[in-house]
Every structure is written in C-alpha cells, then in structure tokens.
C-alpha cells in the first residue's frame, strides 16, 4: 500500500533499502547520505481476550 500511495501522490517517503526491489518503474529511490539510521525493536503483547457479558461491568452500580 505504501508503494502505491507514493506512486499515485508523487510524494517523498522513507522506506527500508529492501523495498527498492518492489518499486514500480515510475518511483525513483535514493539512499540516505552517511550511516544508515537504526531504531530499537519493540514487541508488545496483550494477554488472551476475555469475553465478559455486559452485566459483569454493570454489577454493583445498580
């Protein structure tokens, strides 16, 4: 989706270098000067989904 958005709007985007293999002919890529920036990888986890009936949330309020 990002590639078609870049191509259709003719804008600028920062993409990883491997995305160059997926670019259509109408999109030009240029590497950044200097050392490539890095970011920390963060992983989040939300426990299992517990489905409760609405009465669970309203108990004690009546």
pLDDT tens digits along 38-56:
878 787 777 777 777 777 7
Whole-number pLDDT of residue 61:
58
Residue 19 falls inside a structural domain: yes
Whole-number pLDDT of residue 62:
54
The b-or-e profile of 22-61 (16+ CB within 10 A means b, else e) is: eeeeebeeeeeeeeeeeeeeeeeeeeeeeeeeeeeeeeee
Task: Decide if pLDDT at 2 tops 70.
Answer: no
Q: pTM of the predicted model, to two decimals?
A: 0.42
> In whole numbers, what is the pLDDT of the chain averaged over residues?
76
Share of the chain above pLDDT 90, in %: 0
Residue 56 falls inside a structural domain: no
**In total, how many domains does the chain have?**
1
Residue 21 falls inside a structural domain: yes
Question: Distance (Å, rounded) from C-alpha 7 to C-alpha 25?
Answer: 10
């Amino acid at each position: 989706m990002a590639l078609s958005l870049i191509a259709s709007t003719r804008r600028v985007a920062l993409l990883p270098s491997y995305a160059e293999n997926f670019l259509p002919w109408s999109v030009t890529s240029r590497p950044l000067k200097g050392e490539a920036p890095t970011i920390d990888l963060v992983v989040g986890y939300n426990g299992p989904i517990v489905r409760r009936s609405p009465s669970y949330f309203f108990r004690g309020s009546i």
